[in-house]
Structure 1
């Protein structure tokens, strides 16, 4: 009989639905079963704090890229799935929206290596690796909640075809990417207490040499003349830091939920004022969306975030104007620092601008 005077705390019920956890590529049957069982245990606990009732299932795979390609998404004609994978950053988890009957759900695919520490006994595991594994799983679970939130508010939004308007479609893609990571990192911050340093490091990596790399892309454009290509190449350089900043500030805001939220500029590892201004505007809008997330008047409230990205394009010398047919007029004005080195045009431009040195 319990005679303690300490009041019992109610344990919230888990939102974990009946799902299947599939482990691919681990030939040791016992090891695969242990990994699957432990994954269920963690999902059940995470589901007490994050709503994963729309979870379709979880795939843990040694060959992560193959698992992404093989996933049945329930809709024909979708573009193949891929992940971030370059010399600086590599994705290890992805939450994919799928259609199951009439229901929109989210399927989580995880790379086996980073989450394997969950099967080790406490005495045998590296605590930092274990915490990272938990953070990865919780982050993807938060995507389940965020995807369901937008689908509930705006039914059909995940499988809505592009509008065909170049600027609007790119604004929506950018806005959804930034909002999704901000909201998810804010939701899962309590499971990622040691992840702040990684978010900061990732942002510093993406901000490094951004201006020079954008100029290099424009210099190449002077030779190849393809405006869509220069738009994409400059976009990859200048928009990725904003997306990564969404992770960091979502996490920081989640960790300081009941305190004064941090100022943006002092947290940024760059002196480039174009990025300081853009990330400041972005975070302000994301915080506003979070505070009003159950009362967005329309999906345009989210898409408006995308304008931040197009303002940054202009600051880096790529100007986009919408056209009546939905396409965009892309103009890249000539400047001395974006002309190919050694070209006659560069020398002429420097003379005209008073910057030529013989």
Structure 2
């Protein structure tokens, strides 16, 4: 299925009998598509732990994709940012255990839908990488839950700043670990990850400076700034996960070369060190949740670089942003 070898002589962790739901897909095609999909998941499940996967949905079109996600969890939303969602993993803790579901949009499984695309090595490699990445979310979630157990929920954080730190940390770790565990499968995503980090590093400067001129209320300013910084940390986490998978130090990558004269280089290296520390402690089962939050706390230091100071009121209820 790919030039990249990832199948070993291990029993698969994939439950071949789990349901696959098809949305907006013709019935006469669905059986063959589902059979092929089960074979792929069977192989990926030989190197990634996907025992907690309880169901898969595949959907044609944006509306079908939203419907498929809504059937699993109506609180989830399709990404509408720089990266348009083409796949999603939903994991919930049920009675102390994990239950995961994967939703795949048609653009991520074109070789299963179009006969000619099945002969296109590039499209097949892209499909395998998307599926492996979603499976790696499950693998990483399982490992994280095994070590950490139940973690706080975002609604438990009373200030806007603390909630952003939590969200940025969880999202960053999730994307880092998914890439770390899956980047060797299917298409190499180095260039696409690098392109989006470089774009965000360049664009965020104008975005943050423009917020200073908008006369926003403090909380609205905080939300605008931290969403932008959070996205930069998330996309950087993709790239660093790919780096760790390939056992590369930052200075050996093309992204490092492009960041040499950038304001962001020191923060990128700091994020790299944070993930290295987290992985080391996770492997020794000594990780504390506050150490995960170091990912999100990096956002405050980036905000300070651009002249923003973050404060929290006495009641710890509202994160306030002041422009220096």
Report the TM range for the smaller structure's normalisation: 0.7 to 0.9
Unmatched segments (≥5 aa) in structure 1: 1-8, 73-78, 335-358
Q: 1:118 to 1:131 in 2, by over 3 A?
A: farther
Deviates more, 1:121-130 or 1:165-174: 121-130
Shift of 1:205: 2.7
Write the distance in 2 (CA, Å) between the matches of 1:135 and 1:218. Answer: 40
After superposition, residues 1-358 of structure 1 pair within 5 angstroms as 11-17=9-15, 18-27=17-26, 29-62=27-60, 63-72=64-73, 80-86=75-81, 88-100=82-94, 103-118=97-112, 124-157=118-151, 161-220=155-214, 222=215, 225-256=216-247, 261-263=249-251, 267-268=255-256, 269-270=258-259, 273-294=262-283, 295-328=285-318, 330-334=320-324
Separation in structure 1 between the aligned mates of residue 252 and residue 169 of structure 2, nearest angstrom: 19
More helix per residue: 2
Change over 3 Å in CA distance of 1:195–1:266 after alignment to 2: closer
Structure-2 separation of matches of 1:136 and 1:180: 15
Distance in 1, matches of 2:311 and 2:154, equals 24
Give the superposition deviation at 1:243: 1.0
In 1: Cα distance, 2:253 partner to 2:187 partner: 22
Rounded Cα–Cα distance in structure 2 between residues aligned with 1:123 and 1:242: 34
Q: Give the Cα separation in 1 of the matches to 2:121 and 2:19.
A: 27
Q: Are the aligned partners of 1:85 and 1:91 in contact in 2 as well (CA < 8 Å)?
A: yes
Q: Contact conserved, 2:126 with 2:187, CA < 8 A, in 1?
A: no
- CA distance 1:46–1:98, shift in 2 (3 Å): same
* Cα displacement (A) at 1:209: 2.2
- 1:158-198 Cα offsets, whole Å, 9 max, x none, are 75742324333221211111111111101001104422121
Partner of 1:352: none
8 A Cα contact 2:136 2:182, kept in partner: yes
TM-score (norm 1): 0.79
- Name the residue aligned to 2:4: none
Give the greater-gyration-radius structure (CA): 1
* Residues 203/154 of structure 1: CA separation in 2 closer, same or farther (3 Å cut): same
Query: How many residues are matched?
Result: 312
Distance, in Å, in 1 between the alignment partners of 2:152 and 2:101 is 14
Query: CA-to-partner distance for each residue in 1:29-58, whole Å, 9 max, x for gaps?
Result: 232211111111000000000000111211
1:231 Cα deviation from its structure 2 partner = 1.2
- How far 1:103 sits from its partner (Å)? 3.0
Which residue in 2 is equivalent to 1:356? none
Equivalent residue of 2:188, what SS? coil
C-alpha spacing 1:139/1:284, structure 2 compared with 1 (3 Å)? same
Change beyond 3 A, Cα 1:231–1:255: same
Render the CA deviation track for 1:116-169: whole Å, top value 9, x for unaligned. Answer: 314566885321111101100000000011111222223232757423243332
Q: RMSD of the TM alignment (CA)?
A: 2.5
Once the two structures are superposed, residues 93-132 of structure 1 have per-residue CA deviations (whole angstroms, 9 ceiling, x without a partner) of 1111135555321111111222131456688532111110
Higher RCO (CA 8 Å, separation ≥ 6 residues): 2
d(CA) in 2 for partners of 1:312 and 1:180? 21
Give the equivalent residue in structure 2 for 1:350: none
Q: TM-score, normalising length from structure 2? A: 0.87
- Runs of 5+ consecutive residues of structure 2 not aligned to the other structure: 1-6
